[in-house]
Amino acid sequence: MSSVDIAATAHSLSADQLLKKLGVDIKKGLSDAQVVAHREKYGKNELPEEEKTSFLALFIQQFDDLLVKILLTAAIISFVLAWLEEGEAQTTAFMEPFVIGLILVANAVVGVVQETNAEKAIEALKKYEAQEAQVIRNGHHMSIPTAELVVGDIVEVSSTLLSLLVLIFVLCLPFI
């Protein structure tokens, strides 16, 4: 069974069925050989590092929105019409495209600041992630680095940690 199959069906299986499919004894956990096999099959328990986006790329991304594109088009049309205007009205006619452009640039700056702050918040949250996990392997309770967890590990969750996870979930509900 591939990792995609497990991921797609794990939620619909009972705990006993899932343990059987993964070949795990709930009292003994995984053996060393199973850990190696599961790591090769499913990979490490790590998220890939994301490449940082440059300031210029973030700024340009802010213009990839339908409403912003409409406003940009309106500013260009308004600029062309102002250019075709003759006389003293030409000077005041450039005011409209200038204001629209200024609003678009301000919107892009605010968007970049928000994205930058969000990235900093995510980095700060990573400092709070657990560095070790309590598991049962080879029939023994042990502490291992979280990056060494594999599919099928029997992980012990303390009631304090469980309460914290429930609290975080409840606090995040309005944002989901």
Give the side-chain half-sphere CA count within 13 A for 60: 5
Using alpha carbons, select from 169, 147, 151, 167 the residue that is nearest to residue 159: 167
- How much is the pLDDT for 98? 92
pTM for the predicted model, two decimal places: 0.56
The DSSP code for 151 is: T
Q: Mean of the pLDDT values across residues 136-142?
A: 91
CA 11 to chain centre: 22
Residues 7-21 pLDDT 10s: 677 778 888 888 888
Q: CA distances (Å), 111 to each of 106, 117, 125, 147, 153, in order? A: 9, 10, 21, 34, 41
Q: Are 82 and 99 in contact (CB under 8 A)?
A: no
- pLDDT over 70 (residue 43): yes
Token digits for 13?
A: 């299986």
Residues 85-96 pLDDT 10s: 877 777 788 898
Q: Are 141 and 134 in contact (CB under 8 A)?
A: yes
Cα–Cα dist 169/176, whole Å: 10
Q: Are 152 and 24 in contact (CB under 8 A)?
A: yes
Give me the chain's average pLDDT, please: 83
Confidence of residue 1 (pLDDT cuts 50, 70, 90): very low
Q: Which long-range contacts (CB under 8 A, 24 or more apart) does 159-165 make?
A: 161/130
For 69, residues 6+ apart whose C-beta sits below 8 A from its C-beta are 63
